[in-house]
């Protein structure tokens, strides 16, 4: 009987054991919150930003960041599509003008003030924070200040016995001296727009776009712009903007350029590497100028999507991008001199506040009291396209400068009206 009992117990134990084996086994995986981050930029920016994001993911293993990036060309269209379809990234590098464009009532981006427990806002002054304020909501934080800057390959200028130019007249003299062997001051389409506007403002003293978003230029001002463009091309100061190739700055075909302060390295780094001395020239204007005509703006800004599902995680990434030593280390002064106190302090400590970018920053500070804060509409791509088309039309003699100035004025007025409607 005892043996039977023992056998029964054994069978029961075996059944119990086997029943344990069939129980569901649940293994939980480390769940990550996935957020997205979008930016535009050149190769160098893309490379260091991707590395920085990998570092952020290492430091924050609960967050995975999906990167969305491309060069500036096309990025704005992409951003338009994303904002309109509510598929924008959780954290975005944005242009200063986009606050007005996408968030006229301040509701287009997340109010970063609500996330101040994650983002250290004490790194920014009140004025700096005000760049991103819209309707009482903090829509974005600025990375650095930016302006179109005149870069000159002094080595090449020296070869022609030319001093560093200070005025448009100096530029035309340089073009004459170089006689088509080099272009003394080249520009892409956006730098061309800013230069034409600066020249026209210097002549008339009119503001291109007024602070209320209405057009300040007259058709005469536009005529000045269009004719000045043709003059720049005809006198071989620069090639047409369509034929501008950044790489030609590297090999010395171009002796100078106008580009964003934040683009110092990507535009002139190659020339410096090739052994040329590159300097920052004064903001160009003739003695007769009534205004400086050059603009400044927050270089780029970071914003958080108003529709994000993960505001806290997005804010942690935002704080990393703006204030962390790691990002400061990767970024250096590529986007300009950081406004964030902690990032700037780190760069100072590590001796990274040097070089062309820093020189450009100092030049901007030198002229800052004469510079105007850019109108948010000035970087509207439609304005850029209209100006380019009109410039070509006049240059190729398809229309007269008087006719085209009127057309251009009408087109830009429409763009501004549409933008505000």
Partner 1 sequence: MAKTGFGNHSDKIKKTKITMIIGYALIIVVSTILISVLSLGKTSDIMEEKVKDMTSALNVQLKLNIDNYLSKLETTGTLIFATPEVYKYDAVNPTVDEYEALNTESLISDKLMELCVMENYVDFAIVYSNNHSVGKLSNGTASLFGNELYSSLEKIITRRRTSDGWATGCYDDYKRIYYVKRVNDNTVFVASFYTTELKNVFELPETMNDMAVRLVNKENNIIYSSVQDETGSLLPSDISDTILDHTSATVIDDNHLITVDRCADDWRVISSIPRAIILEEMNDIKSSTVAIAFAAAIIGILLGVFLSIKVTNPMDSLVSDLDSKARIDTLTGVNNKRYFEESVEKSLSEQNRNNIGILFILDIDDFKGVNDTLGHGYGDKVLSGIGDILKTTFRSSDLLGRIGGDEFAVFMTISEHEKENCLSIVKMRCEALCKAFRKNYTGKDNSYKISSSIGVAVAYKEQKDFSELYRCADEALYASKHKGKDTYTIYGGDLQEAGDKYEN
Q: Does 404 interact with partner 1 (rule: CB under 8 A)?
A: no
If you search the block for the tokens 């501004």, which residue do you land on?
416
If you search the block for the tokens 């505001």, which residue do you land on?
311
Distance CA 257, CA 184 (A): 8
Q: Does 48 interact with partner 1 (rule: CB under 8 A)?
A: no
Min dist. Cβ of residue 177 to partner 1 (A): 26
Residue of the chain from 60, 78, 231, 382 that contacts partner 1 (CB under 8 A): 78
Task: Take residue 280 and report the two structure tokens written for it.
Answer: 């920052």
Min dist. Cβ of residue 176 to partner 1 (A): 24
Task: Return the ∠ at Cα 260 (arms to 393 and 210), rounded to 5°.
Answer: 65
Binding segment for partner 1 (CB under 8 A), chosen from 245-253, 276-284, 318-326, 343-351, is: 245-253
Q: Does 246 interact with partner 1 (rule: CB under 8 A)?
A: yes
C-beta neighbour count of 26 within 10 angstroms: 5
Task: Take residue 386 and report the two structure tokens written for it.
Answer: 């209209």
Binding marks (x or -) toward partner 1, 183..222, rule CB under 8 A?
----------------------------------------
Nearer to partner 1, 375 or 392 (CB): 392
What is the torsional sign of CA 166, 172, 174, 180? Answer: positive
Is 271 within 8 Å of 154 (Cβ atoms)? no
Nearer to partner 1, 36 or 123 (CB): 36
Binding segment for partner 1 (CB under 8 A), chosen from 60-68, 158-166, 302-310, 372-380, is: 60-68
Spell out the residues 6+ positions from residue 281 whose beta carbon is closer than 8 angstroms to its own.
Answer: 150, 151, 152, 164, 165, 166, 256
Min dist. Cβ of residue 218 to partner 1 (A): 27
Q: Does 250 interact with partner 1 (rule: CB under 8 A)?
A: yes
Residue of the chain from 18, 22, 30, 117 that contacts partner 1 (CB under 8 A): 30
Binding segment for partner 1 (CB under 8 A), chosen from 62-70, 104-112, 289-297, 365-373, is: 62-70
Nearer to partner 1, 188 or 224 (CB): 188
Binding segment for partner 1 (CB under 8 A), chosen from 76-84, 197-205, 213-221, 358-366, is: 76-84
Residue of the chain from 7, 8, 77, 362 that contacts partner 1 (CB under 8 A): 77
Q: Does 42 interact with partner 1 (rule: CB under 8 A)?
A: yes
Residue of the chain from 188, 266, 296, 390 that contacts partner 1 (CB under 8 A): 266
Nearer to partner 1, 81 or 373 (CB): 81
Size of the site for partner 1 (CB under 8 A): 32
Residue of the chain from 7, 125, 286, 396 that contacts partner 1 (CB under 8 A): 396
Min dist. Cβ of residue 74 to partner 1 (A): 4
Residue of the chain from 62, 158, 181, 245 that contacts partner 1 (CB under 8 A): 245
Nearer to partner 1, 250 or 319 (CB): 250
3-state secondary structure the chain: CHHHHHHHHHHHHHHHHHHHHCCCCCCCCCCCEEEEEEEECCHHHHHHHHHHHHHHHHHCCCEEEEEEEECHHHHHHHHHHHHHCCCCCCEEEECHHHHHHHCCCCCCECCHHHHCCCCCHHHCCHHHHHCCEECCEECEEECEEEEEEEEEEHHHHHHCCCCCCCCHHHHHHHHHHHCCCCECCEECHHHHHHHHHHHHHHHHCCCCECCCCCECCCHHHHHHHHHHHHHHHHCCCCCCHHHCCCHHHHCCCECEEEEEHHHHHHHHHHHHHCCCCEEEECCCCCCCCCCCCCEEEECCEEEEECCCCCHHHHHHHHHHHHHCHHHHHHHCCCCCCECCHHHHHHHHHCCCCCHHHHHHHHHHHHHHHHCEECCHHHHCHHHHHHHHHHHHHHHCCCCCHHHHHHHHHHHHHHHHHHHHC
Nearer to partner 1, 68 or 318 (CB): 68
Nearer to partner 1, 240 or 372 (CB): 240
Residue of the chain from 4, 18, 247, 287 that contacts partner 1 (CB under 8 A): 247
Q: Does 242 interact with partner 1 (rule: CB under 8 A)?
A: yes
Min dist. Cβ of residue 69 to partner 1 (A): 6
Binding segment for partner 1 (CB under 8 A), chosen from 71-79, 111-119, 283-291, 406-414, is: 71-79
Contacts with partner 1 by CB under 8 A lie at 2-3, 29-30, 42-43, 46-47, 50, 66-71, 73-74, 77-78, 81, 240, 242-243, 245-247, 250, 266, 270, 392, 396, 398
């Amino acid at each position: 009987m005892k043996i039977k009992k023992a056998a029964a117990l054994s069978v029961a134990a075996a059944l119990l054991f086997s029943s344990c084996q069939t129980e569901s086994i649940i293994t939980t995986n480390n769940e990550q919150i996935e957020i997205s981050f979008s930016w535009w930029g050149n190769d160098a920016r893309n490379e260091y930003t991707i590395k920085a994001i990998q570092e952020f993911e290492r430091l924050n293993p609960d967050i995975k960041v999906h990167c969305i990036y491309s060069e500036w060309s096309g990025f704005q269209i992409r951003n338009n599509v994303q904002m309109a379809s509510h598929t924008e990234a959780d954290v975005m590098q944005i242009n200063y003008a986009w606050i007005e464009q996408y968030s006229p009532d301040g509701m287009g981006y997340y109010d970063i003030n609500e996330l101040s427990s994650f983002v250290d806002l004490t790194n920014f002054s009140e004025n700096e924070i005000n760049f991103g304020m819209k309707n009482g909501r903090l829509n974005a934080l600025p990375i650095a200040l930016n302006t179109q800057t005149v870069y000159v390959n002094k080595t090449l200028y020296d070869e022609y016995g030319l001093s560093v130019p200070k005025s448009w007249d100096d530029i035309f003299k340089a073009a004459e001296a170089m006689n088509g062997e080099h272009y003394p001051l080249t520009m892409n389409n956006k730098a061309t727009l800013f230069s034409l506007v600066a020249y026209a403002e210097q002549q008339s003293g009119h503001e291109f776009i007024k602070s209320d978003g209405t057009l300040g230029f007259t058709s005469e001002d536009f005529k000045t712009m269009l004719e000045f463009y043709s003059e720049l091309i005809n006198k071989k100061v620069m090639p047409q903007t369509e034929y501008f190739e950044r790489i030609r700055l590297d090999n010395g075909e171009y002796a100078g350029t106008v580009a964003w302060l934040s683009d110092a390295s990507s535009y002139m780094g190659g020339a410096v590497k090739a052994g040329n001395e590159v300097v920052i020239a004064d903001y160009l204007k003739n003695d007769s100028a009534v205004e400086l005509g050059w603009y400044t703006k927050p270089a780029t800004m970071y914003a958080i999507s108003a529709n994000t599902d993960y505001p806290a995680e997005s804010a942690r990434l935002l704080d990393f991008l703006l204030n962390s030593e790691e990002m400061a280390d990767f970024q250096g002064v590529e986007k300009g001199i950081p406004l964030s106190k902690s990032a700037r302090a780190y760069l100072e400590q590590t001796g990274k506040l040097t070089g062309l970018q820093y020189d450009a920053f100092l030049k901007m500070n030198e002229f800052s009291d004469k510079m105007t804060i850019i109108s948010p509409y000035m970087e509207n791509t439609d304005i850029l396209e209209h100006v380019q088309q009109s410039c070509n039309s006049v240059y190729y003699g398809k229309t007269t400068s008087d006719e085209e100035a009127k057309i251009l004025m009408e087109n830009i007025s429409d763009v501004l009206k549409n933008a505000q409607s």
